[in-house]
Chain A
Amino acid sequence: MSADRQGAVVPYALAALGLALLAWGSSWGLFAAPGETYMGDVQRIMYVHVPTAWNAMLALTFAFGCALVSLFKGGWRWDARLEAGMEVGVVLSTLLCMQGAIWAKPTWGVWWDWDPRLTTTAVLVFAFAGILVLRRFVDDPVKRAVWSAVATIIAYVDVPIVYFSVRWWNSLHQVQSSPETVSKAFHWPLRINAFGILFLMSGLIGLRTRLAVLRLESELAPPLPPPAAVAPASTRGDR
């Protein structure tokens, strides 16, 4: 077994553990937890929506941390981690918007509203997805690492805005819940799913980092010598 394949066991194990926890927490939330007084069964969407939100912010915060280290300390692995964290963060944020729209329809009567929380989240998705797309168009790995780190730091400004938007402006979206404001019957499925997505996210970031490192290695490898240069070496070996 190669060293790379051996090292990939941990991300795969984390992802598998995450999926198992998600299956457990979701079945608890769907079938065992009681419905909420006013929202009834629709509130069960919370068990996937809220953990997705927490982990999306966490993945983008990880990308922000990697951007800082990549910019001030350097190192290809930090650029690879930045790309991985950002991609996972964009996937989770997009999923967050989809879950939110499905929850909004029966509770607010609309799929989407240009409410501060929703608008700032949409800006977040487009900003980070844009950085990921633009990375593909830069061939020079040094320039790509520097400008994506700078762009990530700038785009990250939106993350605290998303978090505090429900407090700063009159938002249709409810303010953050806490263990004190959420019934104890809802705590466990919420926590299990939060850890489920956390483990899945960590595994995926680990695997996606390895993928980015492999790509960088092939990009940075010196080009193979032309066939004419190879021929004398092989003849020498034959003697």
Chain B
Amino acid sequence: MTPTGVIEGGWGFVVAAYVVSAVVLFGYAVSVHVRYRAERKRSQRP
């Protein structure tokens, strides 16, 4: 097969990049929310 210089397929890599991005961004957002709530509760304790 003669190389054409064109990348065929690759959807697996595209899906992986978007899944990793969603997991990292959403996961970090949840972690900030959970830590903020916990700290607020702690600060309200007498």
- Pick the contact of A40 from B6, B18, B25 — CB < 8 Å? B6
Q: Answer yes or no: A26 CB below 8 A from chain B CBs.
A: yes
- Pick the contact of B7 from A26, A48, A49, A106 — CB < 8 Å? A106
Q: Is the CB of A211 within 8 A of B18?
A: no
User: Interface of chain B, helix or strand or loop or mixed?
Assistant: helix
Q: Is the CB of A48 within 8 A of B18?
A: yes
Q: Answer yes or no: A152 CB below 8 A from chain B CBs.
A: no
In the complex, what residue of chain B is closest to A5 when comparing beta carbons? B40
Task: Provide the bound-state CA to CA distance between A48 and B19, in Å.
Answer: 11
Report A-chain residues with C-beta under 8 Å of the C-beta of B14: 30, 41-42, 44-45
Known: A102-B17, A208-B32. A41 touches B43 (CB 8 A): no
Q: For the side of the interface on B, what is the size category?
A: 20 to 34
Which segment, of A126-134, A178-186, A212-220, faces chain B? A212-220
Q: Is the CB of A210 within 8 A of B36?
A: yes
| A73 CB to nearest chain B CB (Å) | 26
B1-46 contacts to A, CB under 8 A, are 5-11, 13-14, 16-18, 20-21, 24-26, 28-29, 32-33, 35-36, 39-40, 42-43
In the complex, what residue of chain A is closest to B15 when comparing beta carbons? A30
| B8 CB to nearest chain A CB (Å) | 6
Give the one of A91, A95, A102 with max B CB within 10 A. Answer: A102
Q: Is the CB of B13 within 8 A of A217?
A: no
Report A-chain residues with C-beta under 8 Å of the C-beta of B25: 19, 22, 95, 197, 200
- Pick the contact of B24 from A40, A42, A91, A210 — CB < 8 Å? A91
| A93 CB to nearest chain B CB (Å) | 11
By Cβ-Cβ distance, the 10 closest A-B pairs, closest first, are A42-B10, A45-B17, A214-B39, A102-B17, A211-B36, A95-B24, A48-B21, A106-B10, A40-B7, A44-B14
B residues with a Cβ closer than 8 A to A are 5-11, 13-14, 16-18, 20-21, 24-26, 28-29, 32-33, 35-36, 39-40, 42-43
